[in-house]
Structure 1
């Protein structure tokens, strides 16, 4: 049985190091006219948006595959909650399929939805506030605390936990710290540019579409956490076995 707690689980470098760096560099690649293959592309078909979708879809699969060997009832409930949350995030990101199947938004929904799409996070009023402020900013705060501060504190203390305890599996791997940091700071250039009225000078996805970058990093962090959970649970006995 693997006795390495979640915060010390190793993650593949291509995913926890090179992927977040590539996402960071990608807007600058698009700023070169000869390399901007997305200039005539509908925004929702772009790479950043579809990476977000791919990360969330993979995370859902990993959360569900982790259920069979979950470390007790609380862990199993946690995995179900995470899978459900990632499913809602994914559904909202693609407007529950509208971005791919191009169905027509009903007129009554168009009146309620700020972008005329079949999703909840653009519904005017309290629903939009919940998704864009409470849920997204809450997730952002969780990535900072759970993805950076707590794992660093635990590593400094050389904390060790045994299987069967909450602290053994609940914390994200410290390997996701770069993604957590970028998700928390990616808006800074945009905020500074706004102060000087220079947002139009920023590369694609660092200007008015900065929200897509933040969502992509949040989705990647969720995937890294899902992978951490999968790596822990696959080394535990299956439910009902000794």
Structure 2
């Protein structure tokens, strides 16, 4: 028990230190960490009332729109990050963020079938013939459809593992000042971790699940997108604060007496 207590205390100290470095109050960081767990448990509890469970996870319902808005938020933050990074000379990092931004906007369009169900336009015959849902989307086309879970697994594993690894080895790599641009804060690890755990469960334990388990994956996608949006927001805020702090001394020096 003493060893477990020491481990828990050390983990709590690291969590609080990481939160402060990101400019997040430790209590708020804890709420952010628990939020995806709360959403996952609350949604799972609705299985006791099937109509509510089906409504939550149905096409164009609450969970899917939350996915879309999370992606839109990330899609706004990412270009702003790329712009600020390019202005400060981080060209390669700016290009990386630009590429990710394009991918996020593509995902956002795919989540709502590019507005097809909103505006009611018909799927072209060629697309309907090869699309599993008969819609104008790429991720439901045979061949591509099999790649999507693998891509989401890799993204969620990175988001869950990179912060843990970085906090374990950061003492040896203190000179990597821009590590925060690639490593999420610890408070979003649960968001990525839930998505990773679900994908691993589907891959290793239950590759052909029933309707409930399959549809529950929508909640895990929301968790992944929420983690991405939060990571982008915290990075953007960090860059804005750093620039303001760098400019503050100049203002004080040039201010009239």
TM-score class, shorter: 0.7 to 0.9
Give the drift of 1:42.
8.2
Aligned to 2:35: 19
Instruction: Please say if residues 57 and 90 of structure 1, whose CA atoms lie closer than 8 Å, have aligned partners that are also in contact.
Output: yes
Aligned to 1:177: 189
Gaps of 5+ in 1: none
Aligned to 2:121: 103
Instruction: Please say if residues 30 and 187 of structure 2, whose CA atoms lie closer than 8 Å, have aligned partners that are also in contact.
Output: no
Seen in structure 2, the aligned counterparts of structure 1 residues 153 and 8 have a Cα distance that, compared at 3 Å, is: farther
Give the drift of 1:188.
6.6
Q: Matches of 1:188 and 1:100 in 2, distance apart? A: 33
Give the drift of 1:194.
4.5
Aligned to 2:78: 63
Instruction: Choose which of 129, 132, 141 in structure 2 pairs with 1:114.
Output: 132
Gaps of 5+ in 2: 1-16, 251-257
Instruction: Please say if residues 180 and 221 of structure 1, whose CA atoms lie closer than 8 Å, have aligned partners that are also in contact.
Output: yes
Q: Matches of 1:14 and 1:144 in 2, distance apart? A: 16
Instruction: Please say if residues 52 and 220 of structure 1, whose CA atoms lie closer than 8 Å, have aligned partners that are also in contact.
Output: yes
Q: What pairs up with 1:49-88 in 2 under 5 angstroms?
A: 49-70=64-85, 71=88, 72-88=90-106
Give a deviation string over 1:138-194, Cα, whole Å, max 9, x none. Answer: 213322332x43233246x385446xx542532111121111221111357767984
Q: What pairs up with 1:187-198 in 2 under 5 angstroms?
A: 187=199, 194=206
Q: Which has the higher contact order (CA 8 A, sep 6+)?
A: 1
Instruction: Please say if residues 109 and 116 of structure 1, whose CA atoms lie closer than 8 Å, have aligned partners that are also in contact.
Output: yes
Give a deviation string over 1:61-86, Cα, whole Å, max 9, x none. Answer: 11223344324222322221221121
For normalisation by structure 1, the TM-score amounts to 0.75
Q: What SS does structure 1 have at the residue aligned with 2:184? A: coil
Structure with bigger helix share is 2
For normalisation by structure 2, the TM-score amounts to 0.71
Aligned to 1:30: 46
> Are positions 1:229 and 2:235 aligned together?
yes
Aligned to 2:154: 138
Q: Matches of 1:44 and 1:82 in 2, distance apart? A: 25
Larger Rg: 2
Q: Matches of 1:176 and 1:42 in 2, distance apart? A: 23
Q: Name the Cα RMSD after superposition.
A: 3.4
Instruction: Please say if residues 114 and 124 of structure 1, whose CA atoms lie closer than 8 Å, have aligned partners that are also in contact.
Output: yes
